[in-house]
Amino acid sequence: MPYGGTTKPVAIGIVKPSAAAINLLKKYVNANMAGTIDSIFTWARPQVIVLGLYAPQQIDLLDIARRIENNTIWDIDLGVAASIKSGFPGVIVSPIATRLLENNGYTKTNIGDLNVYKASLGVWNGRNIPVLINIDGNHAFITTSWDESYAQTMMTSINR
């Protein structure tokens, strides 16, 4: 998970994937992302998912709640990073995951020396947020933020 500079963890959670957890997650994403999540769960056999909420500043939960209510949440830097570890070895996971992302229309780009796939996630009020995905061996690393540059900073801050 990222750490250092402007990527400070606010909250970290560890999830053991289950069909119920995957179905809950799919309720909050668009159809393309839901299809990708289904494919990952079916073909990658994730063993553990680590999620983190990140911010460069201290977070006040009351302030966050007010910002959501006032639709000003977009004015602060927040990001989410996830690490998904597959039960299969990287020589199997990496080519399958890469093909899956390419076949589902994700745009491949480079951030530094990382190959990253970009997607867009629809959220409330008609907003879209960028999602960055990097496959490294049997791990998928995912970052997202209102600000794509912050998602990129988180992605490059992950120790692999």
- The overall longest dimension of the chain from CA atoms, in Å, is 47
d(CA 144, CA 150): 8
Tokens of 79: 């990001």
CB 133 within 8 A of CB 141: yes
Q: What's the start-to-end Cα distance of the chain, in Å?
A: 9
Tell me what pLDDT residue 125 has.
Answer: 67
Q: Assess if CATH 3.40.1000 describes domain 8-156.
A: yes
d(CA 37, CA 114): 22
Give the whole-number percent of the chain exceeding pLDDT 70: 98
d(CA 99, CA 106): 10
CB 152 within 8 A of CB 145: no
Residue extents of the structural domains in the chain: 8-156
pLDDT single digits (tens) 38-95? 777 777 788 888 999 888 878 787 888 888 888 787 777 789 999 999 988 999 888 9
| Predicted confidence (pLDDT) at residue 31 exceeds the cutoff of 80 | no
Number of Cβ within a 10 Å radius of residue 108: 12
